[in-house]
Homo-oligomer: A and B are copies of this chain.
Amino acid sequence: MGKINIGIVGAAGYVGGELIRILSTHPEAEIAALSRVRSEGNQDLADVQPQLRDALNNIPRRVAAFDAETLGEVCDVVFIAAPHGQAIAMAPPLLRKGARVIDMGADFRLKDPSVYEQWYKVQHTEHELLAEAAYGLPEIDREPIRSARLVANPGCYPTSASLALFPLVKAKLIDLSTIVIDSKSGVSGAGRSKLTLDFFFTEVINDFKAYSVASHRHTPEIEQVLAEIAGESITLSFTPHLLPIARGILTTTYSVLRPGVSEGQIQQRFGECYQGEPFVRLLPDGLLPQIKHVVGSNYCDIGWKVDSRTNRIITVSVLDNLVKGAAGAAVQNMNIIFRLPETMGLKHPPFVP
């Protein structure tokens, strides 16, 4: 039996570059086709990902315009790394051709199309696909991914927040009305295509700022994930900030503990939830995670501390937004779908930048 034939849409972007980096050393993957979201003609891969010039001889050198027919025929699975709104149109023809689709964008994450439309200001025309799509966060629910034709790969912020809060919400250790999520992300999360002054070097260096306060589109996604775990609706505060680094997210959360909850219980619940999970590292007592220790890896590192003075639990979680927050998680989902060891191609140690 041959390798998995893979198509990457958005091969010129940061997430696309990471997909190529990871999949090019994946023992069972064969990158069969690369395409851009916006290109018209063909381009040389070395022009859009210059670090790959003469670097890999097992991948296509050509980045073509998106063509669902060809991709769907050649590929067993297509990763779509495109701005939101585009996968709604791209996914259906690929699926009809028999390819699986892993969408890195937001188009199939929110189960309620009206919530999607309210936050993303785009009409959703594929309600059935939306219902069918599996949310690809295996540490929380692996089952739906196994049989999925279409996976909605989670957002980078939602992964960092959900993995930190999952044990607390599942075991009902916290008061769900008190959740505050304060996240900080590197600039690569903004992608490579929007050339606004906001992401210019001289504007970002030496700076730090909050953005989309009380209005970021990942808010309903986090709420959806946690609500499903809790079995009840959750409304929380989520504030993203922009760090002057390229890669990495750190998320700090604050929640009030339910009466009588002990540190021992918390430790036990975290242990139960993540025992055997290859990509979640629970830090030993007294240590808290830092971005530098997960860059380049598929790890999400989590630490926590109880503030006995306020009866709050503070969690800190970190991940590389381009890996566990995007491309790595997507490959993890691919491994699940294709019945491969979930860690295949993903166990390289972090790269300290």
* Residue positions of A touching B, CB distance < 8 A: 14, 17, 20-21, 24-25, 50-56, 178, 180, 182, 184, 187-188, 190, 192, 195-197, 199-211, 213-214, 235-237, 239, 241, 243-248, 250, 252, 254, 281, 283, 288-297, 299, 305-310, 312, 314, 316, 318, 348-353
Contacts and interface: CB of A to CB of B under 8 A. Distances in A.
B209 A205 contact: no
A353 B184 contact: no
B244 A214 contact: no
Nearest to A351: B351
Given A195-B197, A241-B184, A294-B51, A248 B349 contact: no
Nearest to A25: B348
B307 A214 contact: yes
A288 B209 contact: yes
A202 to B, nearest CB: 5
Given A21-B348, A50-B290, A241-B250, 8 more contacts: A50-B293, A178-B178, A180-B312, A182-B254, A190-B202, A205-B245, A208-B318, A213-B316
Contact of A192 (B14, B197, B289): B197
A254 B281 contact: no
Nearest to A47: B287
Contacts of A237: 254, 307, 310, 312, 314
Contacts of A207: 245, 248, 290-292
Q: Which of A17, A192, A203 has the most CB of B within 10 A?
A: A203
A290 B207 CA distance: 7
Contacts of A187: 201-202, 205
Contact of A297 (B55, B190, B283, B350): B55
A183 to B, nearest CB: 10
A298 B281 CA distance: 29
B248 A288 contact: no
Q: Which of A25, A210, A281 has the most CB of B within 10 A?
A: A210
A209 B187 CA distance: 16
Given A195-B197, A214-B305, A349 B206 contact: no
Contacts of A353: 205-206, 246-247, 295, 351, 353
A288 B213 contact: yes
Nearest to A193: B197
A305 B195 contact: no
Contacts of A309: 214, 235
A220 to B, nearest CB: 10
Contact of A289 (B209, B235, B254): B209
B201 A244 contact: yes
A204 B17 CA distance: 17
A43 B254 CA distance: 34
Contact of A55 (B56, B202, B244, B349): B349
Contacts of A254: 180, 182, 237, 239, 254
A12 to B, nearest CB: 10
Contact of A206 (B25, B182, B246, B314): B246
13 contacts: A51-B293, A52-B350, A187-B205, A199-B201, A201-B244, A206-B206, A207-B292, A208-B250, A209-B290, A209-B291, A210-B314, A211-B288, A351-B353
